[in-house]
Amino acid sequence: DAGVTQSPTHLIKTRGQQVTLRCSPKSGHDTVSWYQQALGQGPQFIFQYYEEEERQRGNFPDRFSGHQFPNYSSELNVNALLLGDSALYLCASSLSELTRELFFGEGSRLTVL
Amino acid sequence: AQSVAQPEDQVNVAEGNPLTVKCTYSVSGNPYLFWYVQYPNRGLQFLLKYITGDNLVKGSYGFEAEFNKSQTSFHLKKPSALVSDSALYFCAVRDMNNNDMRFGAGTRLTVKP
């Protein structure tokens, strides 16, 4: 049983560009959350998707957007990249109940030059 | 708003000694509390959670944690540390009304032989 898979694992972009990160959830999971982890910090919640809708959003600008597909996979899009967007982007899947733990992928490390 | 504090950036213990990694939380209602571990360049792995019931919860790799409502704490413990326990540990909290799982800044545990 494959866990959460993310792609790409590493990427380098320049300021002003756009990036799309992809996530396939653990089998059986219907909920996908995205987190940003800057170096030396804890993960920060970006948003969560359930039933192809954004269910909750953290304190991130509209440059960050997402999508969930009918097969529960998800994408994170970031427009107009800034140097400060450089971070490890983590996708986590779970069942929808609040008591459920998150299962994380290995992350996509984005470097913005 | 929910929040988590991990007061120690770093904890150092000798192999075979007991370890404690501290966590305090703040939520508006009943908390759902979680511990995760992160190895270098990897995603987070779930260790254990407290939802309700017995204040002492047991998890993976011999770890346990004690929920203390009066002190709003959820400290992670292990009776006998291993060198392989060296990693970054994150405490996280949700309340009953939030899909956002809020993480602490992390505590780096180093176990020396």
Q: Which of B58, B29, B47 is nearest to B91 (CA)?
A: B47
In this complex, is the C-beta atom of A25 within 8 Å of any C-beta atom belonging to chain B?
A: no
In tens, the pLDDT along B34-87 reads 999 999 878 899 999 999 999 999 999 999 999 999 999 999 999 999 999 999
Give me the average pLDDT of each 10-residue run along chain A (113 residues): 91 98 96 94 95 94 97 97 97 89 95 97
Using a CB–CB cutoff of 8 Å, tell me whether A102 touches chain B. Answer: yes
Q: How many domains does chain A have?
A: 1
Which of residues B96 and B63 earns the better pLDDT score?
Answer: B63
- Cβ distance of B43 and A55 shorter than 8 Å: no
Residue A93 near residue A102, CB atoms below 8 Å:
yes
- Identify whether the C-beta of residue A68 lies closer than 8 Å to the C-beta of residue A55: no
Of B32, B49, B104, the CB nearest to A42: B104
The per-residue pLDDT of chain B, averaged, comes to 94
A21 and A13 in contact (C-beta within 8 Å)? no
- What 3 state SS string does B2-45 have? CEEECCCCEEEEECCCCEEECCEEECCCCEEEEEEEECCCCCEE
Q: CATH number for the domain including A12?
A: 2.60.40.10
Is A98 in Cβ contact with B46 (below 8 Å)? no
The range of the structural domain enclosing residue A74 comes to 5-112
Interface test with B, best of A98, A108, A110 (most B CBs within 10 A): A98
CATH class for the domain made up of B3-112: mainly beta
> Can you give the pLDDT at residue A63?
98
How far apart, in whole angstroms, are the C-alpha atoms of residue A22 and residue A31? 14
For B95, name the nearest residue in chain A, comparing CA atoms only. A98
Calpha distance A19→A11 (Å, rounded): 9
The CA-atom distances, in angstroms, between A71 and each of A8, A28, A52, A108, B12 are: 19, 10, 9, 21, 44
